[in-house]
Structure 1
């Protein structure tokens, strides 16, 4: 762990200790927090939340620094004149330095900035008539990784690629056979009528975003147009996918874990017992944890909005111990009832009767399916009056919970 990360974690730990001191003082006197104490507690909570975000950013930056250093080493070792392309190479363009340089020139100046050979290379396997160019393979890999870093669900779920198919289908056991029969040596038992086999199908849906960049910035940006476009598109696609994977309707977009559906997680997996109409309670979290089979616990984790965590930080078990514990080691998340916890800004945070306020599950049973590679289109003339260039990013993705018993939703009574 770096010195900066260590200092941030220690500072956050001291703030959490101060928060618990306020709660313990009020609890020892059998009273609620005073208005002044509540204001102080809220300020401390905001401080530790801010530090938690700084810790996450620092960890992501260190991971990015390591990847960039590895990439620099690979670039130095790459041959100046790559081997002749095969048909497979043209379907999946090479990530060599010359290809990346040509793609960067395309972002700066469009097709006019390219020589004939470079243009033909960039157009390999792309929709030439539509003006699309396929980014170099390394560019696409970096973009997907940036999405992983910014989107909680992509880092937890199981992902599939379907470059040659319109959808991904998987057989499902919708109902088990009935229990075996006690019988005699020569008998075969009764015929089973309970077992049902079905299919889960995920069909990637189109997702697109358009951004505008000034011509001057493209010429002068120190980070280069490739990194600039990559960063902004990564953020825009990340936010949209995160919302859909959590609360999407499943109609023309992914089906979210917080959406009640017979095609995903039905209301039979909602647990409200122990909670009130406006608050999450310790008993409610206990009920939710034990509504999930123990076999799922090793990979299970909670997802809450930070407003929900603010309530949870005040909860104690029967022995007076706080059930929420902040992480103290690099790469480890905060825990709740012994299971890791993840925050998302797009998890539900309306505390009203019957609404969802959290979820516990094994997210390897949430499947994400991506189709083909991302495409980037440059719009040279559309924004010429404002001296800007447009870029359109497109991809196709779908997602859904495929096994509902692997999840349980925390619901208010």
Structure 2
């Protein structure tokens, strides 16, 4: 972090919830751009068919429309998220203990007065309440941070999220289950086999952000510190999580779902992620580009498909957006309304920038039931350490939370490999 990049929080206006008219207008703009995109893409395909290569002007125009679609989709997503955000709980609805903790935390954040907060946390037997460990934020602030992360962190939004108080979450699973079968009413039953159990371990790693404020801001009683902290750490936490949940190596960060070994789906085995190949190095098949996507969908067992989603980055989505089926219909469809996701072959498309670009050998598209396939573990307790010395005249707030993650069902996620095999 460079202190020259610190922004003054006084310049940030409160985010008002967008009106329904704003959402409708943004959605209409998006749909008009998509219709223009389809017209230009059809023109490009006609030029390829007639002359074997598209006109440079058509290609440039299509690229501009594609960028416009990405911008409008992100703007529409932001409007939708803001419209869903409820206000934090009113003070009158907090219990006396919560109110006391909140008041003590406000005094610590605003003026550095830690005595009351230290006493409350010692009374509650909270570990790590010294100057090095920081102090636990009020429950309402922690809930707000968690809710915002669920909205803006793409993989967290579709995965299972489990709260815990330990440092490691352990999940047992049966490598060989109980024997079962059918039997007549009076027939003898053979003794069932003893199951073979193993376990998956998901350790929680420390994730941090360090927002900054001026003392003038902290002295302003009108500033809601719960909202301010949640807003400041939201982007930093979400960006780090988004990368780790996709490509994290499991060392000092969660293990991403692309990290386990990959294997051709026909030879799939537990502990590995099955893949389907496009048959062409670094690209979709030229003659039947949509076939590999269909193969990917049906590589997933039916029990997983009903809640499945595609995951890819925006550059891969731009390539998929141009594909058609045998009847000339686009495989990618825009959101049915202003508050829904785009779909591919009828399944939601989740945009995750940490996914790799389309290239030879890249697993650039994932498909699966991520609710069953990927587990995010949150250790309860977000901590804040106040630092008024390092970056004067700014006051830094070293904010930490502990997060883990990894694949919990290796059969629930498949990938599309852009390669011959």
Would you say same fold, with TM above 0.5? Answer: yes
- Name the structure 2 match of 1:390: 396
* Matching residue of 1:155: 157
Q: Is residue 2:362 matched to residue 1:355?
A: yes
Could you say what the CA RMSD is over the residues aligned between the two structures, in angstroms? 3.0
| Aligned partner of 1:399 among 357, 382, 405 | 405
Question: Paired residue for 2:371?
Answer: 364
Determine if the alignment matches structure 1 residue 409 to structure 2 residue 408. Answer: no
Change (3 A) 1:330 1:22: closer
2-structure distance, mates of 1:171, 1:296 = 20
User: CA shift at 1:261, angstroms?
Assistant: 3.6
Q: SS of 1:345's equivalent?
A: coil
How much does 1:19 deviate?
1.1
Query: Is 1:214 aligned with 2:232?
Result: no
Residues in 1 aligned to 2:61 and 2:270: alpha-carbon distance in whole angstroms: 39
Secondary structure, counterpart of 1:329 in structure 2: coil
What CA distance in whole angstroms lies between the structure 1 residues aligned with 2:272 and 2:200? 19
Q: Decide whether the 8 Å contact of 2:278 with 2:416 is kept in 1.
A: no
Check conservation: 1:324, 1:337, Cα contact below 8 A: yes
- 3-state DSSP of counterpart to 1:111: coil
Q: How far apart are residue 166 of structure 1 and its match?
A: 3.1
Matched with 1:172 is: 173
In structure 1, the gaps of 5 or more residues are: 86-93
Pairwise mapping of residues 16-31 of structure 1 onto structure 2 (< 5 A)?
A: 16-28=34-46, 30-31=49-50
- What's 1:278 paired with? 283
Report how far residue 119 of structure 1 moved.
6.1
Compare 196-205 and 238-247 and name the one that shifted more.
196-205
Instruction: Say if 2:248 is the partner of 1:255.
Output: no
Q: Distance in 2 between matches of 1:62 and 1:268?
A: 37
* TM-aligned CA deviation for residue 192 of structure 1: 6.5
Give, in angstroms, the shift of residue 287 of structure 1.
Answer: 1.2
| Alignment match, 1:133 | 135
* CA spacing shift, 1:117–1:232, aligned 2, 3 Å: closer
Counterpart residue number, 2:332: 324
- The alignment partner of 2:82 has SS state of helix
3-state DSSP of counterpart to 2:411? helix
Distance in 1, matches of 2:394 and 2:180, equals 68
User: Aligned equivalents of 1:265 and 1:345: distance in 2?
Assistant: 27
| Paired position in structure 1 for 2:266 | none
Q: TM-score, normalised by structure 2?
A: 0.82
Partner of 1:106: 108
**Structure 2 residue runs without a partner (length 5+):** 1-18, 263-268
List per-residue Cα deviations over 1:12-58 (Å, max 9, x = no partner). 11111111112223334524431101110111111111111111110
Report deviation, 1:356: 1.1
Q: Is the 8 A contact 1:242 1:346 kept in 2?
A: yes
Partner of 2:237: 237
Q: CA 1:119/1:318 → structure 2, altered by over 3 Å: closer, same or farther? A: same
What per-residue deviation string (whole Å, max 9, x for no partner) do you get for residues 239-274 of structure 1?
A: 111111111112232111122348x98555011144
Answer yes or no: is the 8 Å Cα contact 1:160–1:370 preserved in 2: yes
**2:375 and 2:405 in contact (8 A); partners too:** yes
